Amino acid sequence: MTTPSFQHVLIIGATSGIGDHLARTYHAQGKKVIATGRRAERLAKLKEECPGIATYQFDVTDSFALEKSVKQILKENTNIDTVVMMSGIGGIDIFPEGVDQQAITSQVNTNVIAPMILARVLVPIFKTIETPTNIIFITSGLGYIPLSLWPIYAATKAAVHTFALVLRQQVAETPINIIEIIPPYIDTEFDAHAREKMLKILPNARKPTPLDEYMEDTIKKLEERVDGKPLKEISFGFASMGHKAWRGAFDPIFDQLGISSA
């Protein structure tokens, strides 16, 4: 990136899929990257293959460990200007046998509670920094176009979308940028186990977008600036349909209310 920000990046959940790809790409671009995850062996592999990447192991479902760990990382790495909340759980329905209360609670804790706690930690610290900083949340096209595939996942991602939008309004007078990345159906291990079910529910569903193709587009859009600021939301493919429809419906309402920061 040519702008001052996006130079010292903390990625919460960098051991697979989008998070792993983002960590490797930013490392290759010469940025300082800090990667976290709960799987020690994957963090070790990332560190071995990308010399210079710093790694921290913790589980975001433990809210107390998350807050403590992030504060420690920020204390040890005072130049962090961008934090990406990648961690997410999908792949469970609400009714089948074997899906118990713990599984549901774990998904909500990871997908919703963890981003909220992360924001609670980051915003007061980032408010003291005069240069631009970025908090990036990962939602989903299913947060905009709810389907029966993953009812809990879709609901959690809709919640994070709403949270990111309101948080953006709250920090509008600060140098903090709140960015929402809205992925479609991507060819990763995260989505792999749902493909058979996806075709049954949506016989006209397209093949998953290759990860490299998606990441090339997303990283390019992260570099775009409007009035000197990053894009508020970044979507692709199927997810763009829901995102554009949502903006088309709600932007006139925000304009009427005089809320330019939404």
Kindly report the backbone phi and psi dihedral angles of residue 47, in degrees, each rounded to the nearest multiple of 5, phi listed first.
-65, -35
Q: Which two tokens stand for residue 107?
A: 């998904």
Residue 186, pLDDT score: 85
CATH number at residue 245: 3.40.50.720
Which residue range forms the structural domain that includes residue 135? 8-257
- The ranges of the chain with pLDDT < 50 are 1-3
Distances in Å between the Cα of 249 and the Cα atoms of 231, 246, 254, 255, 262 are: 19, 5, 10, 11, 13
Q: Count CB neighbours of 4 within 10 A.
A: 10
Residue 135 forms part of a structural domain: yes
Identify the pLDDT of residue 229.
92
CB of 41 closer than 8 Å to CB of 16: no
Domain total in the chain:
1
**pLDDT at site 154:** 92
Residue 3 lies in a domain: no
Query: What is the Cα–Cα distance from 35 to 41, expressed in whole angstroms?
Result: 13
Residue 1's pLDDT is: 37
Is the CB of residue 161 less than 8 Å from the CB of residue 139? yes
Three-state DSSP string of 186-207: EECHHHHCCHHHHHHHCCCCCC
Task: Give the pLDDT confidence score for residue 2 in this predicted structure.
Answer: 39
8 Å CB contact between 84 and 222:
no
Residue 158 lies in a domain: yes
The verdict on residue 122 lying in a domain is yes
CA-to-CA separations, 26 to 22, 31, 81, 89, in angstroms, rounded: 6, 5, 13, 24
Residue 150 corresponds to which amino acid? Answer: W
| pLDDT of the residue at 61 | 84
DSSP letter string over 249-260? Answer: HHHHHHHHHT-T
Identify whether 2 is part of a domain: no
Contact of 182 with 143, CB cutoff 8 Å: yes
Which pLDDT belongs to residue 202? 64
77 token code pair: 């790495």
d(CA 217, CA 226): 17
55 in a structural domain:
yes
Q: Is 1 a member of any domain? A: no
53 is a domain residue: yes
Packed helices 40-49 and 17-28: angle between N→C axes, nearest 10 degrees: 20
